[in-house]
Amino acid sequence: MGGARFMGAGVMSQGAQPALKTAGLIIIGDEILSGRTRDRNVQTLAVWLGELSVYVKEVRIIPDDRAVIVETVRTFADAFDYVFTSGGIGPTDDDITSEAVAAAVGRPHRLHQEAYDILNAYYGEEEFTLARQRMAQMPEGAGLIDNPVSKAPAFFVGPIFVLPGIPIILEAMLPGIAHRISGGPKVHIVTISVPMVEGEFAPLMAEISDMFPVVSIGSYPFLRAGQLGLSAVFRSTDAAAVE
């Protein structure tokens, strides 16, 4: 049940094929870990990155804990081409992502003048409280990410993109950073649904796999209206083989 046989990026990139680009996602927030909120950002980011030919290799959902954030950002920055974090960049004391990312990349955490000016113009002198001024503190050299919904900018440091947790704001920010993502070779995907259970499909899957070694095959069972079936997903950088 579940599972798939996809060749990992490592396998696919062997031989003549160019390396796939990879990403790791870090979802920061106790509200997801407690089950209070169901995460939506993993799917949003994974689909968007897939369209840019970047493949998500791992996701970690972690608490608002500085040491854990620092360690996870470092691990992911070493392992993947891109890192995306979501959550913990608001004005309250518990919003520690920005400072933790600065520590992870070994840069000072400082006032970002352009971010300060954007927030100051938006709130006005009176409303631009000390708490809100925290949102203008960023790792040195951070580039801003435009926020079309509620102004407060997110940021990136090299290949690490630090995004908010609110799904509607995160989604609105993605078009503004697409040009910063350089994808690998396009992976062609064909999905078919068949009224078979995995036990029946298994021998067929092994046969197809032998015939088309450059194609990775995943089998995803589902239970729909009381009927067991499965989706077979075929993937390869070789479009003809997939068909």
Task: Give the distance between the most distant pair of CA atoms in the chain.
Answer: 69
Residue whose structure tokens are 């609105």:
172
Those residues with Cβ within 8 angstroms of residue 41's Cβ, 6 or more apart along the chain or in another chain: 25, 27, 86, 163, 165, 167, 170
Q: How far apart are CA 61 and CA 39, in angstroms?
A: 9
Least distance CB 164 / a copy of itself (angstroms): 4
88, 41 contact by CB (below 8 A): no
Least distance CB 204 / a copy of itself (angstroms): 10
What is the footprint of a copy of itself within residues 79-118 (CB under 8 A)? 86-97
Least distance CB 41 / a copy of itself (angstroms): 9
Q: Which is nearer to a copy of itself, 17 or 44 (CB)?
A: 44
* Among positions 155, 156, 161, 201, the unique one binding a copy of itself when judged by CB under 8 A: 201
Taking the CA atoms of 130, 131, 132 and 135 in sequence, report the sign of the dihedral they define.
positive
Q: Which is nearer to a copy of itself, 48 or 157 (CB)?
A: 48
Q: Is 194 in the site for a copy of itself (CB under 8 A)?
A: no
Q: Which is nearer to a copy of itself, 140 or 200 (CB)?
A: 200
Q: Which is nearer to a copy of itself, 89 or 157 (CB)?
A: 89
Residue whose structure tokens are 């940021």:
155
What is the footprint of a copy of itself within residues 42-81 (CB under 8 A)? 42-50, 55-65, 68
